[in-house]
Amino acid sequence: MSAHAVSANVPSADVRLFEVGPRDGLQNETTLLSVDQKVALIERLVLAGARDIEIGSFVHPRWVPQMAETGEVAARLTSDPGTRFWALVPNPIGLERAIDAGVKHVAVFLSSSETHNQNNLNRTIAESLANLEDACRLARAEHMMVRAYVSTVFGCPFEGQVDFARVLEICARLLDFGAFQVSLGDTTGVGKPYQVREGCRLALEAFGPEAVALHLHDTQGLALANSLLAYEVGVRHFDSAVAGMGGCPYAPGAAGNVSTEDLVNLFEAMGLDTAYDLDAVCATARWLNEETGIAPRSRYFAYWGAHHPQQVP
């Protein structure tokens, strides 16, 4: 992958969306995409306005076969000063694979719930933090940009409510390790609007607006309400997935990520700039459906599709 410097300028917008569809979306879909399909999806997202795109992960393919070819995908992509391609890494070994693939932007992750972390990573939170400290140290030595996910911050399928003081403590550790931003994950989509608003307020108060992002799933249909209240308290960075792809393997019934097209529509309806072309995002969701059979789950796509009927050859 032809990568740009970590300090490259990225066009500004009122709200910044971080596209996770090619990674968090696809890894939870049963459909396996080819390298060509993944590259085509990412290139369409770039043309639609995506400036931060998670292209895959360097997790062992035994656990996530959907991400087995991330290195090949990275090699096929050419970034420019306005686009950053990211890859998820679970540990220093995954980071070494990302370095070998030429990736310059990586994301690390752990859970704020001990039980979820054990189920997902087979480690305690303390063990994960020690592992990620090593990974971040290596990333800094390679002049890489690091982002961090903290999962289950608004509720865990095993433990229920999570102590938000623990969430803030974990976030502080990750930022101290060198992550430039922490993404607060409502992994199973159980967060309630006022709960999300208060959690975001506390995180913003502790770390500032550039260091805090929000990662929502739409299990209970509250992702847009949660996004709106988070915006009102100062969150300006949101994760999303085209077509609302995704889910959570450790949460029965968990829905996909909040869709990129629904978030773009929400913020544009508020008069805010997202740097996205909403029609192009929806066209990408339609292409994904035609190419792979993955059905878009967003409300706005249903509206858009009714007004943009497919052309019959």
CB 234, CB 13: distance < 8 Å: no
Contacts by 266-269, CB closer than 8 A, 24 or more apart: 266/224, 266/227, 266/228, 267/14, 267/15, 267/231
Would you call 282 a catalytic residue per the annotation?
no
**Chain-centre distance for alpha carbon 263:** 13
**CA 72 – CA 75 distance, rounded (Å):** 5
DSSP string, the chain: -B---TT------SSEEEE-IIIIIGGGSSSPPPHHHHHHHHHHHHHHT--EEEEEE-S-TTT-GGGTTHHHHHHH-B--TT-EEEEE-SSHHHHHHHHHTT--EEEEEEESSHHHHHHHHSS-HHHHHHHHHHHHHHHHHTT-EEEEEEE-TT-BTTTBS--HHHHHHHHHHHHHHT-SEEEEEETTS---HHHHHHHHHHHHHHH-GGGEEEEEB-TTS-HHHHHHHHHHHT--EEEEBGGG----TTSTT---BPBHHHHHHHHHHTT---S--HHHHHHHHHHHHHHH-PPP--HHHHHHHHHSPPPP-
Which is catalytic among the residues 156, 171, 200, 248? 248
Strand pairing category for 237-240 and 212-216: parallel
Beta bridge partner(s), residue 108:
148
Catalytic residues: 248
